[in-house]
Structure 1
Amino acid sequence: MSEVLSATNLKFLAQGLWTTLYLSFFIIVLSTLFGTILAVMRNGKNPILRWIASIYVEFVRNVPNLLWIFIIFLVFQLKSTAAGITSFTVFTSAALAEIIRGGLNSIDHGQTEAGLSQGFNNRQIFIYIIFPQAIRKMLPSIISQFVTVVKDTSFLYSVIALQELFGKSQILMGGYYEPSQIFTLYGILALAYFVVNFAISSYSRYLSKHWEQASE
């Protein structure tokens, strides 16, 4: 077990964890941006934009993420990191678009009318009135999707050999055969994923509580 917990191995796994966090950060930022754009398009008045957004969301959400990884990597001939970020962004944007659209639709239409009566334009109403209220309602679902992103990056090693946290652990696994050594490696792996995702979930709960107190 001491061999498994050597400084060299822990540094090797830490490099994989950094890659996982790096990938997840860019995927989450880009997916939130594009997901919001898709949600606004789908809720908008322009029928062409609604049609485009609806087709994208429904098609992408109903195709497995693993297949998108293969398509982006093989068809577009991207490097592993770029392919991983792109494929996850394509898929996660569609999932977040539905979450965000649901949150926006949960806000009473009277809020828009109240904003118009105060002289706000549609853009100002969305930014300052609708979206801040909607984000509070959809935050738990959004955070759940973020956690899924972090966990699902583990697909990338088996599909396109991208050495994130799970990939690094699999490389190390090839040098150990004792059950105690394997369990130790998987234990470290599980603990790393737990710490990251628990931190994300805890921050989400903190934000929700903070917003509730601020609104009282």
Structure 2
Amino acid sequence: MQQLFTTNNLIFLWEGLKTTLYISTVAILLSLVFGTILGVLRNNGPKPLKWLATTYIEIVRNIPNLLWIYVVFILFKLNSYPAGIVSFTIFTSAAVGEILRGGLNAVAKGQDEAARSQGMNGFQALIYVVLPQALRSMLPAIVSQFTTVIKDTSLLYSVIAIQDLTGKAQILMGRYYASEQVFVLYAFLAVIYFIVNYLLSLFSKWLSRSWVHAR
């Protein structure tokens, strides 16, 4: 049996991991921005914008992300990397928007009223009082969604041939096809995905504690 974990193979997988983290990070940051806008509009926006945000969220999050990858890549004729980022942003923004709506609804109405009584307008009360409390309560759900983004990047190789971590591993499997080698490679992938997502979970717990102490 040929040696699986050579220096060249580990570098090859590392390049795939960097691609996974790059696409995931950009998509997560964009989704956090657009998802926040969607959630706020759906919860507090003017009626036409509220209807548009609601329609977008309900349509997008009830269609599998795999289909959005196909749609973005084929319909909009984007290159692989932009197509991956855009498709994940489209899907994850809808999920974050729905999570945020639930978080905003969980904040007591009196918080907004108290902020306004201190001279804040509606926008200031939302940004400085209501939204931080909503984010605090929905942080576990957001992190769960973001770990899904990281794991779902494994779809990109089979759809648009992006050589992410899973894609690189599948290429190696074409060279090392013994069943025990395939098993070891899949186990190695599982460990890497676990470590990345576990670190993200630890970060969210640290952030949550920091928010509590800052209150």
Q: Same fold (TM over 0.5)?
A: yes
| Structure 1 segment 160-179 matched on structure 2, within 5 A | 160-179=160-179
In structure 2, the partner of 1:182 is 182
- Partners of 1:182 and 1:123 lie apart in 2 by 55
* Aligned-partner residue type, residue 12 of structure 1: F
In structure 1, the partner of 2:159 is 159
- Partners of 1:121 and 1:189 lie apart in 2 by 50
In structure 2, the partner of 1:89 is 89
SS at 1:119's partner residue? Answer: coil
| Structure 1 segment 19-98 matched on structure 2, within 5 A | 19-98=19-98
In structure 1, the partner of 2:105 is 105
Give structure 1 regions of 4+ aligned residues with deviation exceeding 3 angstroms.
none
What's the TM-score, normalizing by structure 1?
0.96
Structure 1 unmatched ranges of 5 or more: none
Measured against aligned partners, the alpha-carbon deviations of 1:161-188 in whole angstroms (never above 9, x if no partner) come to: 1110000000000011222211221122
Structure 2 unmatched ranges of 5 or more: none
Residue-pair matches, total: 215
CA shift at 1:213, angstroms? 3.5
In structure 2, the partner of 1:15 is 15
CA RMSD of superposed structures (Å): 1.2
Is residue 215 of structure 2 the alignment partner of residue 212 of structure 1?
A: no
Q: Is the 8 A contact 2:2 2:176 kept in 1?
A: no
In structure 1, the partner of 2:136 is 136
* Aligned-partner residue type, residue 212 of structure 2: E
What's the TM-score, normalizing by structure 2?
0.97
User: Against the structure 1 CA distance between its residues 184 and 54, is the aligned structure 2 distance closer, same or farther, given a 3 Å change threshold?
Assistant: same
- Partners of 1:45 and 1:127 lie apart in 2 by 14
| Structure 1 segment 190-201 matched on structure 2, within 5 A | 190-201=190-201
SS at 2:4's partner residue? Answer: coil
Percent identity between matched residues is 56
* Aligned-partner residue type, residue 74 of structure 1: I
CA shift at 1:45, angstroms? 4.2
- Partners of 1:212 and 1:152 lie apart in 2 by 31
CA shift at 1:2, angstroms? 6.6
In structure 1, the partner of 2:147 is 147
In structure 2, the partner of 1:3 is 3
